[in-house]
């Protein structure tokens, strides 16, 4: 597949042929179920869009039954920026319903398959975006990352996935799951393309109250810059042999490239998991209350207003979404708010401070993305197992930091990805480290 950098230099006629070629390939690989729908009408370089980002005139459903029939009346800010830069939204990619999941199995449209092994998950919730790029049926894609939903599917599918600092990319037009956690980011074939797409979508947006009023300086990755990189031995011991091998390989490659490696320690990730899921579910409970059958999408007719609410939400939401709404409502309820939600916010503050102390010593942290390579469908027997699999990614969202996942090795034909975590608003260093490691492992 042609890279984003190459596609941006194509004349209009060749772009039209490229779109036709992608459509034909997507049709030939439709069993992957990466796309929900495609649209060749836009002018510019085609970019796949996760189904929770508003595109004017598109049906945008967050892969949920409850939003069937909803048509977006406006463009998200990231879409406006894509169009201004000569790119065009090209197709809606599959995802876990309302971005709640790590496998893309909870989608109303059915599961997406991993292009490297159709018996394995592509990751989630941005699994459709990751699978489309990995399968060569998208030049690049946009995803959203609430607790690893860009980085984990990128790692499972063997592509690059980047989560910007919270507030660096506008959330206007992104269907909210966890408002203090969500970020839109690029999913691409390589680090350079990720930087190009990031530069296009980053920057302050007055329409978004969570947007950071900081000037965005365009990023040009510098693979020759020498950095101090922190490694986390107490984290890696819980990862699989395949991930540990990839970690050791990456460390050796970084040393050979002239980077300084420093051991650091982060506290037990069980606190990250507890703080994250309490926070995310509480925010989901609030954000999803708007989907009631009155204002958006699907409505189930019933005898009265309360019965209509109950019937619409019971039929429209999937099991995982219902579970998270119920748990979120519980932790926000009278008598439990202080016991759970407030404590989670205190823990979140401690986590953020811990990262700040580590970054006094190092420029970047090298970490696993997931405990293992992509697992088989049905391997997670309980929701708790799925939640625990986010152990390496959720701390980044709690602290609002930038991070990038890239493939560094493979195990039995499956990609193994690692991530660099950086200081808030220091995306330049994140891309510098990633480009250096990418070059080192590719030889």
pLDDT score, position 157 = 98
Q: How many other β-carbons are positioned within 10 Å of the β-carbon of residue 170?
A: 25
Q: Which residue has the tokens 């998200």?
A: 76
Look up the pTM and report it. Answer: 0.96
Active site residue 149: yes
Q: What's the pLDDT tens digit per position in 245-298?
A: 999 999 999 999 999 999 999 988 889 999 999 999 999 999 999 998 888 888
CA 18 vs CA 4, 12, 250: distances in Å: 12, 10, 35
Within this chain, do residues 311 and 287 fall inside the same structural domain, yes or no?
yes
The domain boundary residue, chosen from 303, 336, 364: 364
Domain coverage including residue 186: 4-220+369-442
pLDDT score, position 293 = 87
Name, in order, each residue with C-beta under 8 angstroms of 269's C-beta and a sequence gap of 6 or more: 235, 391, 392, 395
Within this chain, do residues 263 and 176 fall inside the same structural domain, yes or no?
no
The domain boundary residue, chosen from 337, 364, 391: 364
The domain boundary residue, chosen from 338, 364, 390: 364
Within this chain, do residues 245 and 144 fall inside the same structural domain, yes or no?
no
Catalytic residue, chosen from 64, 102, 106, 125, is 125
In angstroms, rounded to a whole number, what is the distance separating the alpha carbons of residues 226 and 260?
A: 8
* Confidence band for 384, pLDDT divided at 50, 70 and 90: confident
Within this chain, do residues 356 and 377 fall inside the same structural domain, yes or no?
no
Q: What's the pLDDT tens digit per position in 204-239?
A: 999 999 999 998 999 999 999 999 999 999 889 889
**What does R_g of the chain's alpha carbons equal in angstroms?**
21
pLDDT score, position 396 = 98
Q: What's the pLDDT tens digit per position in 87-142?
A: 999 999 999 999 999 999 999 999 999 999 999 999 999 999 999 999 999 999 99
In angstroms, rounded to a whole number, what is the distance separating the alpha carbons of residues 156 and 312?
A: 35
pLDDT score, position 303 = 85
Residue among 76, 124, 84, 130 nearest 103 (CA): 124
Within this chain, do residues 249 and 294 fall inside the same structural domain, yes or no?
no
Q: How many other β-carbons are positioned within 10 Å of the β-carbon of residue 18?
A: 18
Within this chain, do residues 184 and 263 fall inside the same structural domain, yes or no?
no
| Number of domains within the chain | 3
* Confidence band for 335, pLDDT divided at 50, 70 and 90: confident
Q: Residue 261 forms beta bridges with which residues?
A: 229
> Domain holding 106: CATH number?
3.90.1300.10
At residue 443, does pLDDT exceed 80? Answer: no
Within this chain, do residues 201 and 296 fall inside the same structural domain, yes or no?
no
3-class secondary structure, 407? strand
pLDDT score, position 393 = 97
State the number of CA atoms in the 13 A half-sphere of 184 facing the CB.
33
Within this chain, do residues 27 and 153 fall inside the same structural domain, yes or no?
yes
Within this chain, do residues 76 and 59 fall inside the same structural domain, yes or no?
yes
Catalytic residue, chosen from 107, 126, 129, 149, is 149
pLDDT score, position 39 = 93
Active site residue 50: yes
Q: What's the pLDDT tens digit per position in 37-64?
A: 999 888 999 999 999 999 999 999 999 9
Catalytic residue, chosen from 19, 50, 81, 163, is 50
Within this chain, do residues 261 and 287 fall inside the same structural domain, yes or no?
no
Within this chain, do residues 257 and 193 fall inside the same structural domain, yes or no?
no
Lowest mean pLDDT of 248-252, 378-382, 427-431, name the range.
378-382
Within this chain, do residues 26 and 141 fall inside the same structural domain, yes or no?
yes
In DSSP notation, 237-277 reads TTS-HHHHHHHHHHHHHHHHTT-EEEE-----THHHHHHHH
pLDDT score, position 334 = 86
Active site residue 41: no
């Amino acid at each position: 597949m042609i890279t984003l950098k190459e596609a941006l230099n194509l004349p209009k006629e060749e772009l039209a042929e490229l779109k036709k070629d992608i459509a034909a390939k997507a049709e030939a690989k439709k069993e992957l179920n990466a796309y929900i729908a495609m649209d060749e009408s836009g002018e510019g370089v085609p970019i796949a869009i996760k189904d929770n980002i508003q595109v004017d005139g598109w049906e945008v459903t967050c892969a949920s039954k409850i939003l069937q029939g909803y048509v977006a009346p406006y463009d998200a800010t990231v879409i406006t920026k894509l169009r201004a830069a000569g790119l065009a939204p090209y197709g809606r990619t599959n995802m876990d319903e309302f971005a709640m999941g790590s496998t893309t199995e909870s989608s109303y449209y059915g599961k997406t398959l991993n292009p490297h092994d159709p018996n394995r998950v592509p990751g989630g919730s941005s699994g459709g975006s990751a699978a489309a790029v990995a399968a060569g049926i998208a030049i690049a894609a946009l995803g959203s990352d609430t607790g690893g939903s860009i980085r984990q599917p990128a790692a499972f599918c063997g592509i690059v996935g980047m989560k910007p600092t919270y507030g660096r990319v506008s959330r206007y037009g992104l269907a909210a799951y966890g408002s203090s956690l969500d970020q839109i980011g690029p999913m691409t074939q390589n680090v350079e393309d990720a930087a190009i797409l990031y530069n296009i979508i980053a920057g302050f947006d007055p329409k978004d109250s969570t947007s950071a009023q900081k000037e965005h300086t365009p990023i040009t990755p510098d693979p020759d810059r020498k950095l101090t990189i922190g490694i986390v031995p107490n984290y890696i011991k819980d990862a699989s042999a395949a991930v540990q091998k990839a970690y050791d390989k990456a460390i050796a490659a970084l040393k050979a490239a002239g980077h300084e490696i420093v051991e650091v320690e982060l506290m037990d990730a069980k606190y990250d998991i507890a703080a994250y899921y309490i926070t995310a579910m509480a925010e989901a409970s609030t954000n999803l209350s708007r989907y009631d059958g009155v204002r958006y999408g699907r409505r189930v007719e019933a005898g009265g207003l309360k019965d209509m609410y109950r019937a619409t939400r019971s039929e429209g939401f999937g099991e995982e979404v219902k579970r998270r709404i119920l748990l979120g409502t519980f932790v926000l309820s009278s008598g439990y708010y202080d016991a759970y939600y407030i404590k989670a916010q205190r823990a979140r503050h401690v986590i953020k401070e811990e990262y700040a102390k580590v970054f006094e010593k190092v420029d970047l942290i090298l970490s696993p993305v997931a405990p293992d390579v992509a697992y088989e469908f049905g391997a997670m027997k309980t929701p708790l197992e799925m939640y625990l699999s986010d152990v390496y990614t959720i701390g980044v969202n709690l602290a609002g930091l930038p991070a990038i996942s890239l493939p560094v090795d493979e195990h039995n034909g499956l990609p193994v990805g690692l991530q660099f975590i950086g200081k808030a608003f220091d995306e330049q260093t994140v891309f510098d480290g990633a480009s250096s490691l990418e070059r080192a492992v590719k030889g």
